[in-house]
Structure 1
């Protein structure tokens, strides 16, 4: 397993994996990213991203943007230690980076905890259904 800089030949891999329906639910924010949008984003941030390869085949990506860790392993390579490898390598380069994980993303929670991270904050957001608003009395 090798960690390589995320140079332009890997940018489409990152976009395709980031929008893959098998993994998209694990991301805090989701969006349909066009190849042009990906090129602009990666042109600005590629130095902060890396690709894990196994025998030359991309297996996942990891990066740190504004101290926030972005990590994803391709489904074909999950449960092989790829994410832990990427996280350990990233932390050598960005020792102050943090992981923001959706509460229901058990795999990411386990990844970070197994690699020495501990939860420090919980972010509360309004109910997406809008059924409970501040000051509203529920109809029983």
Structure 2
């Protein structure tokens, strides 16, 4: 099975992205309108596509000032397509093959440290501070069902 990875925002399958993000711990609180706005306002998006079907099977987005800083977010690969190195290919395309390889990149993850360490991500050290997000009330309609 082969895959194509590219950064065409027009090619992004918003239904796929919405479905994938509804299932991950870090995005369950977002509404469809939130996800749409995040795609529209992204500095850059990367999609992964099945060569045979053209179906989108992976996604990532970044927010950036376009000069020296970028935030990597929403790196996701559909479960049926995991184990083929797509997470690595998506991150590679976003960070090293795109217009910001010299930027200072940041991200948040609870479970994928090994992936991101391969791209030079480390503990930010004593000069970095983070203000956690405020707890938002979760409306029952925003919580996906199994």
TM superposition score category, shorter chain reference: 0.5 to 0.7
Cα offset, 1:16, TM superposition: 1.3
**Structure-1 residue corresponding to 2:114:** 110
2:38 equivalent to 1:41: yes
Distance in 1, Cα, partners of 2:12 & 2:60:
16
Aligned length: 116
Q: CA deviation at 1:117?
A: 2.5
Structure with bigger gyration radius? 1
Do 1:48 and 1:63's aligned partners in 2 also have CA atoms closer than 8 Å? yes
* Higher RCO, Cα 8 Å, sep 6+: 2
TM-score (structure 1 length as normaliser): 0.68
Give the aligned partner of residue 3 of structure 1: 5
Q: Which residue of 2 aligns with 1:17?
A: 20
- After TM superposition, which residue ranges in structure 1, 4 or more long, deviate above 3 angstroms? 36-41, 121-125
Structure 2 gaps of 5+ residues are 65-69, 136-146
Q: Counterpart of 1:52 in 2: which secondary structure?
A: strand
The reply on whether 1:68 has 2:71 as its aligned counterpart is: yes
Quick one: which of 14, 24, 30 aligns to 1:32? 30
Q: Residues of 1 paired with 2:104 and 2:45: CA distance?
A: 13
More helix by share: 1
Relative to its length, the structure with more strand (as a share) is 2
Please identify, of 49-58 and 80-89, the stretch whose mean Cα deviation from structure 2 is larger: 49-58
Distance in 1, Cα, partners of 2:114 & 2:45: 22
Aligned CA RMSD, in angstroms, stands at 2.6
C-alpha deviation, 1:48, in angstroms: 1.0
SS, match of residue 61 in structure 1: strand
* Kept in 2: contact 1:2–1:52 (CA 8 A): yes
For residue 3 of structure 1, give the secondary structure of its aligned residue in structure 2: strand
